[in-house]
Amino acid sequence: MATAAIIGGGVIGGGWAARFLLNGWDVRVFDPDPEAERKIGEVLANARRALPGLSDQAMPEEGTLSFCETLEDAVNGVQWVQESVSERLELKHKVFRQIQDHEAGSVPIGSSTSGFKPSELAEGARDPEAIMVTHPFNPVYLLPLVEIVAHPGTAPGFVEDAKEMLSGIGMYPLIVRQEIDAHIADRFLEAVWREALWLVKDGVATTEEIDNAIRYGFGIRWAQMGLFETYRVAGGEAGMKHFMAQFGPALKWPWTKLMDVPEFTDELVDLIAGQSDAQSGAYSIRELERIRDNNLVAMMRALKAQDWGAGALLNKADAARKSDPEDLKQKIVTVARAVPLDWTDYNGHMNEARYLQAFGDATDRFMEIIGCDADYIASGGSYFTAETHIRHIDEVHAGARIEVRTQVLLGEGKKMHLFHEMFEGERLLATAEHMLIHVSLETRKASVPAAHIEAKLAAIAADHGELPKPEGAGAAVGKRS
């Protein structure tokens, strides 16, 4: 098991700790702030609630979190160091010197800085080749983008190590081609921020109106297509060239104040702070964080269904986690995952439709195991569900790790009779009984499956026939077993 050292335990450091920890790394935190453990604990609570639900497969077992009294204890023997201290260059230099004085060997050191270039960070370091920028976005435990910026003296091996390690915890490493102030993404954010300050200062719009312009308009488009692909679509059938020809001249019009910054006076600060309080003051910061996480998870899961953008990245991670069952003679684990936030109802429980989805996913996985996969279905055969009976036995909440174990009650000819049991640990949550019929997709009538599928299903059914009949099998609605 790999170990990461997190130096600085604020919002960003806490997000890094959660990202590593929930992806199976051990994490050591060093932060002299006496409140660091509490702050990271609150970030971690949000992450445990939100992150596992992005995956349709079981995530690794959570690593071990420890808080270190000294920086030396934190960095000695680790495989990754992430620096997230305050944005003061002299402080970062001091921290890098201390890290490299105490680490055993030279390991990659990533800085969360949004403002400094890596060559500035590496000045005076013992091993400057190990230092690079690895700039994330908040919340670090949910948003996948991390900008990796090297300097001319960075060892190429460290950049590759960083890319591999950060990909391994579900992030999207964007290699920035050259050092540049504020890297890539923050250049956009700073431009929007400056323009927003002018709009508020000049009385054109309030903070709430500006936020609404973003979240009801282009913000939604950007989440799934970015900037250039959005404009390519806006160009119609003629594409980007037409868009540039039509809208390019607008760049010469005196609309914007992007190159100027309004004077940052107390009056401007009070104006913006007052409008922000009126807009969002009804919620605590923790409440806003949970609202934000709920929305991010729901949007990213929607993108998963389209296999697009951040959703495609999540699907790739799920595919890497999927494994074939080792013993088909016993009940087969067909689903192992956490309950996502958007699977719960007004009571905070997983709602009825999601039980059916989980059991449907279990049936789909079992079909893959016997060979009725996407290629087979494309060739013209599949199983259709003819009857389903679900028993709801105990409640389950968002974030719970659930497992579905499947037993074959009948597998011969055109019929496949499955019994699923859903557990949290060893606590039985629900059962589902499914009767399926093999169908020709050409005739839409019942048909015998391909020989290799029929043989594998029959073999599993024979082995499972030696298992005890599961409690509740054959029960009707309202019947007590």
pLDDT in 10s for each residue of the chain, 481 residues? 799 999 999 999 999 999 999 999 999 999 999 999 999 999 999 999 999 999 999 999 999 999 999 999 999 999 999 999 999 999 999 999 999 998 766 889 999 999 899 999 999 999 999 999 999 999 999 999 999 999 999 988 899 999 999 999 999 999 999 999 889 999 889 889 988 999 999 999 999 999 999 998 999 999 888 888 888 888 888 888 877 787 766 666 655 655 677 887 899 889 988 998 998 989 888 899 989 999 999 999 999 999 999 999 999 999 999 888 989 999 999 999 999 988 988 888 899 999 999 999 999 999 999 999 999 999 999 999 999 999 999 999 988 999 999 999 999 999 999 999 999 999 999 999 999 999 999 999 999 999 999 999 999 999 999 999 999 998 877 766 5
Quote the strand ranges of 117-273, DSSP E: 131-136, 145-149, 172-176
- The C-alpha R_g of the chain, in whole angstroms, comes to 27
Q: Tell me if residue 431 falls in helix, strand or coil.
A: strand
pTM of the model: 0.86
Q: Tell me if residue 371 falls in helix, strand or coil.
A: coil
Using CA atoms, how far apart are residues 388 and 343, in angstroms rounded to an integer? 20
**Token pair of 452 as six digits:** 């290799």
Q: Tell me if residue 312 falls in helix, strand or coil.
A: helix
C-alpha atoms less than 13 angstroms from C-alpha of 262 in its C-beta half-sphere: 19
Q: Is the dihedral of CA 60, 66, 71, 72 positive or negative?
A: negative
Report the residue count for the chain: 481
Using CA atoms, how far apart are residues 97 and 81, in angstroms rounded to an integer? 13
φ/ψ of residue 66, rounded to 5? -135, 145
Using CA atoms, how far apart are residues 99 and 367, in angstroms rounded to an integer? 52
Q: Tell me if residue 286 falls in helix, strand or coil.
A: helix
Residue type present at position 33: D
CA distances 293 to 49, 138, 186, 211, 378, Å, are 9, 10, 21, 17, 37
| Among candidate residues 80, 107, 105, the one with its CA nearest the CA of residue 21 | 80
CB 390 within 8 A of CB 353: no
**DSSP string computed for 316-348:** HHHHHH----S-TTS-EEEEEEEPPGGGB-TTS
Q: 148 forms bridges with which residues in the sheet?
A: 134, 175
Cβ partners under 8 Å of residue 285, min gap 6: none
Residue type present at position 23: N
> For the purposes of burial, counting CB atoms within 10 Å of the CB of 203, is it exposed (0-12), middle (13-18) or buried (19 or more)?
exposed
| Among candidate residues 44, 15, 27, the one with its CA nearest the CA of residue 146 | 15
CB 317 within 8 A of CB 170: yes
CB 369 within 8 A of CB 328: yes
Cβ partners under 8 Å of residue 115, min gap 6: 87, 181, 182, 186
CB 16 within 8 A of CB 112: yes
